[in-house]
Structures are given as C-alpha cells and as structure tokens.
Amino acid sequence: AKLDNTFGFHVHKTQECRDTVWVLGCMTRSISEADNTRIVVHNARPQQQQQQQQRNQSDTPEGERRFDAKGMKYSTWKTLVKKTQKSDECVGAKFGNQLRMIKGNSADKVSSVLSKYPTSASLVQAYERCQDEEEECALLAGVRWGMK
C-alpha cells in the first residue's frame, strides 16, 4: 500500500481489494487496541463528601446533577452519549468513503457492500471466517449491485 498525504489526510492507495482489506484490518485492530488501553479513573471520595453530595443532588433538578469526578453535568453527559450513539453510522460512512477510493468501485457497488458489511470490522471478520482463498475470492463476488 502506498501512503499519500492529500489535503492533510493520510490516503492509502492500494492495487487490489485484498490490500485494501489488509489496510482496513490493520486500522481496525490499532483503533481497537487503543480503545482497550484507555483507563477509566474513579475518584474515591471520603464517605462524608459522598453523603453531602447526595444531599445536594436531592435539591438539584435531575438535568443538573453532577455525577463524575470532573463535575460534568448529567445533561451534558447525556448529550454526549446521544452523539456517540451515532458512531456506528459514522464508521459506516467512513468505510463507504474508503471503499469509494478503490479504483473501479461505483456508488452502487459500495452501497451493496455496505448493506451486507456495514463496517470494515464486519468485512474483516467475514474474511477471517473463510476457510480458504477460494472462499475469500467468492465473498464479495456474491454481492449483487446495480439493477436487481
């Protein structure tokens, strides 16, 4: 795979689909590993402070409750959760854009692949389930696109 820098984005140019799947698999693994190494810090407070905080929360409307060590408002956290729930859609859109970069892929082909494999991880998992090279070659060959 050849790496270019276009408009500040790192673009991997590959010769064939296998190379693309390999690059996407490496990216997925590195993202997963980075995500698994995150550490959640819990602020252990003395019991007296926790009781005081519970009393204060009972006087505060639900949307303004503070629930973590950094004092983030519950309503702010809830908004962040709603934004991140859309992340699967974002991952799918990015995967679609990556597929569009492969020479010869049309919007119809990409749409058909995305309907069967919504993320790069799902496509890589499908390839990993294949028993031999023949199955791997037939994996995307079976995806129908265009006029049905």
Domain edges within the chain: 2-36+86-141, 49-84
pTM of the model as a whole: 0.41
Instruction: Identify residue 103 by its one-letter amino acid code.
Output: K
Give the C-alpha separation, 147 to 83, whole Å: 35
Tokens 């070659």 belong to which residue? 137
What is the chain's pLDDT, residue by residue, as a tens digit (148 residues)?
Answer: 666 666 667 777 788 888 888 888 888 877 777 666 654 444 445 555 555 665 555 554 544 444 443 455 666 656 665 665 555 567 778 888 888 887 778 888 888 888 888 888 888 888 889 898 888 888 888 788 776 5
Q: Per the structure block, which two tokens stand in for 35?
A: 């995500």
What's the DSSP call for residue 132?
S
Q: Per the structure block, which two tokens stand in for 125?
A: 């998992």
Residue 29 backbone dihedrals phi, psi, to 5 degrees: -65, -40
CATH 1.20.140 fits 2-36+86-141, yes or no: no
pLDDT (0 to 100) of residue 41: 44
Q: Is 117 left (phi over 0), alpha (psi -120 to 50) or beta?
A: beta
Give me the torsion for CA of 109, 111, 112, 114, rounded to 10°. Answer: 120
Give the C-alpha separation, 61 to 69, whole Å: 19
Containing H/E element for 140? helix 133-141
pLDDT (0 to 100) of residue 133: 84
SS3 13: strand
